[in-house]
Structure 1
Amino acid sequence: MVLLGTIVNGLCIILGTVIGSFLSRIPEKVKHTVMQGIGLSVSLLGIQMGLKSEQFLVVIVSLVVGAIIGEYIDLDQKLENLGQWLERKIGKRAKGEIAKGFVTATLIFVIGALAIIGSLDSGLRQDHRVLYTKSLIDGFTSIILTTTLGIGVMFSAIPVMLYQGSIALFANQIEQVVPTELMNSFIVEMTSTGGLMILAIGLNILNITKIRVANLLPSILVVALIVTILYFI
């Protein structure tokens, strides 16, 4: 089953959120310190990912162009509107800020090499081991995130499954169209670009900055475009 790894990944995120929601009933003082710990951990993850770039100019240009596109279409506000809609639907059962939990978890779970490599393995060879490993990591991470960011983390399972499922379903076509060297270069630069976005999330969690991270998301598409152009020049 091509989508088995992706489905397991989504279920682990949902299960982790459910477990985390029970653990969220901790004193505010403890929750605040836990949030700071999460912010530091997310920041470190972002730095590690950001340093993987082999062409840092690509990362800079992608973030600048992506930010312009993101601000023009205002993804951050659209995501906030979605979060408010979810809060109205969920009502008093919602714990924390839906949009914040959704954005934070989605970026952490989607951006990185495991999502792409694991999905390609699932699609090409029906080998789900990489996605199983990612599922365990994401499940544990969702527990920690939910204790402070609330049930919005659960909704990140939707874009994760859509993203990884699409790659798995079209894996054969991707392998035929995209040269291996180009794919490897894209993964590296995408990971680095995404890492800086995750660093921004960590800084936001620590209340050091108020970066509209969602408006930087188009940078991923810009990375793909620039890397492709450079490959064929």
Structure 2
Amino acid sequence: MMFMGSIVNGLTIIGGGLLGLILHSISDHAKDTVTKSLGLGTFALGIQMALQTKSFIVMVISLCLGGLIGEWLHIEDGMNHLGLMLEQRFARGNQHFAEGFVTATLIAVIGAMGILGAIQAGVSGDNTTLYTKSVMDGFMAIMLTASLGVGVIFSALPVIIYQGTITLFASFLVQFVPKALMTNALREIGAVGGLMILGIGLNLMGITKIRISNLLPGLLVLVAILTGQYFL
């Protein structure tokens, strides 16, 4: 079921939020340990996906050109700015419910992993990336609910709608792509996405700070390269 990843993602946010209400407070040391543990797991998943590629040259070119486009378009800055505007609009007045809802929604929605995972689910029915994201969002919900309250739990709804919409759109587009091209594209999209996920893992562990969202155009560059190779 192609929507299963988005549904599970929403359920883990709800489950994590309910657990967060019970725990009330979590120490900074515990938060740091959990975050870095998630980073290690994400790092391992990224390596596994990246090694599926049949052309490292195409993968690197796509990522680099996509990064240039993303930096030119300031995608990461735009997402951060949108997040700040929404938080100021809905979380003003120190309203903890709204603050928890908006903060959790932004963390779960604005990022490369949700977009990539939703596309994979729609194109191939593979929910692996969304399942991994679900685990991360579940722990995020525990920590946020412990400090911001029940509003965090309600962020599950926009997450399901957002990712489900991308999945549905991707499943529609795949019908118009030749089977041979789609098979090759799926493998390479997974590989390029794996490098992005690897970068997310590095960020979570605090090793570096890669602007992952600015790399998203690399997926479009990759599709363009593979399409050109197929028809030429």
TM-score (norm 1): 0.77
User: Cα deviation per residue 1:63-101 (whole Å; 9 max; x = unaligned)?
Assistant: 111011101110001110121133234423335676444
**Equivalence for 1:20:** 16
Contact kept, 8 Å, 2:119 with 2:166, in 1: the verdict is: no
Unmatched tracts of structure 2, length 5 or more: 146-151
User: Cα deviation per residue 1:112-149 (whole Å; 9 max; x = unaligned)?
Assistant: 4x44212xxxxxxxxxxx66x88766644531343357
Contact kept, 8 Å, 2:67 with 2:214, in 1: the verdict is: yes
> Alignment partner of 2:53: what SS?
coil
Cα distance change on mapping 1:97 and 1:16 into 2, 3 Å: closer
How far did 1:156 drift? Answer: 4.0
**Equivalence for 1:232:** 231
Matched AA of 1:220: L
Cα distance change on mapping 1:217 and 1:80 into 2, 3 Å: same
Cα distance change on mapping 1:202 and 1:137 into 2, 3 Å: closer
Contact kept, 8 Å, 1:115 with 1:164, in 2: the verdict is: yes
How far did 1:42 drift? Answer: 0.6
Q: Structure 2: how far apart are the matches of 1:100 and 1:137?
A: 15
Residues 1:110 and 2:106 are matched in the alignment: no
**Equivalence for 2:165:** 162
**Equivalence for 2:187:** 188
Q: Structure 2: how far apart are the matches of 1:217 and 1:11?
A: 23
**Equivalence for 1:213:** 212
Q: Structure 2: how far apart are the matches of 1:18 and 1:89?
A: 24
How far did 1:12 drift? Answer: 3.0
> Alignment partner of 2:54: what SS?
coil
TM-score (norm 2): 0.78
Unmatched tracts of structure 1, length 5 or more: 119-129
Write the mapping of 1:113-128 to structure 2, written as runs, cut at 5 A: 114-118=121-125
Q: Structure 2: how far apart are the matches of 1:220 and 1:179?
A: 18
Q: Structure 2: how far apart are the matches of 1:217 and 1:89?
A: 27
How far did 1:160 drift? Answer: 1.5
**Equivalence for 1:144:** 139
Cα RMSD, aligned residues only: 2.9
